[in-house]
Amino acid sequence: MTRLLAAAVAVFLSLVPARSAAQPLEEVVAGVQAAYARLVDLRADFTQSALNKSLGQTIEAEGTVYLKRPGKMRWEYRAPTPQEIVSDGRSLWVYTHDLNQVNVGEAPRALAGPAGSFLAGLGKLGDEFSARFLNPAARTDAAGNPVLDLTPKRPTPVLTRLILTVDARDFLVRKAVLYDQFDNAVTMLFTRIAINPGLPDRLFTFTPPKGVAVVPLEPMR
């Protein structure tokens, strides 16, 4: 579950004018920051690949994510097993369908910072991260999209490094790779991104279905 919460950190953006693929680091950072600063909410489909380095094991997943300021999120996993991770910024619910169980607790403080909220963290990118190009000699990927290597100025156990691939035309984050303190990596690809769709607050609360066991959520370690 900690791996899913670490991944639920996540996401994305607003439109800005097209830019050159060879633009300087300062312009890329400013563009991403401006996009996030204007963002109210978003919806996107995602695919996820979580690598446990010590076990040499990778788990694939997919679903839909919803994010809204301030600090609200909803991750709906369809595969490999149905699961919902929901927070209204104060409480956190983790509903695992196969276990017929929902874990409930206070939203971890980490969710309020860059590890848990791209909306807040990347809206203040210069304050929250130290940035460089992943490869200064080749600033973009094969498609011409800038690739940023971000180090949190206040690292947490679940986020010590963040690599973002940014669409060169509109600064949408298309790919994110998150590393934790053990060098485990969660890679997320985002598609069908809807910016400021007007998500209702009720989407970020959770009422356990009848008959579902309610269990206190263990603190993140």
pLDDT tens digit sequence for 169-210: 878 789 999 999 999 999 999 999 999 999 999 999 999 999
Distance CA 198, CA 124 (A): 22
What tens digit of pLDDT does each residue of 139-151 get? 999 999 999 999 9
CB 68 within 8 A of CB 151: no
CB 136 within 8 A of CB 148: no
Residue 148 is predicted with a pLDDT of 95
Task: Name the residue with higher pLDDT: 216 or 20.
Answer: 216
**What are the tokens at 73?**
């999120």
The three-state secondary structure class of 40 is coil
2-203 folds as outer membrane lipoprotein receptor (LolB), chain A (2.50.20)
User: Where in the chain are the domains?
Assistant: 2-203
**What are the tokens at 162?**
């963040």
Distance CA 8, CA 74 (A): 8
Considering the entire predicted model, what is its pTM?
A: 0.82
**What are the tokens at 109?**
């403080």
What is the overall mean pLDDT for the chain? 84
Beta strand segments in the chain, E: 41-52, 57-68, 72-79, 83-87, 91-96, 101-106, 129-133, 147-152, 161-166, 173-179, 185-195, 213-216
Most confident stretch, 14-18, 70-74, 203-207: 203-207
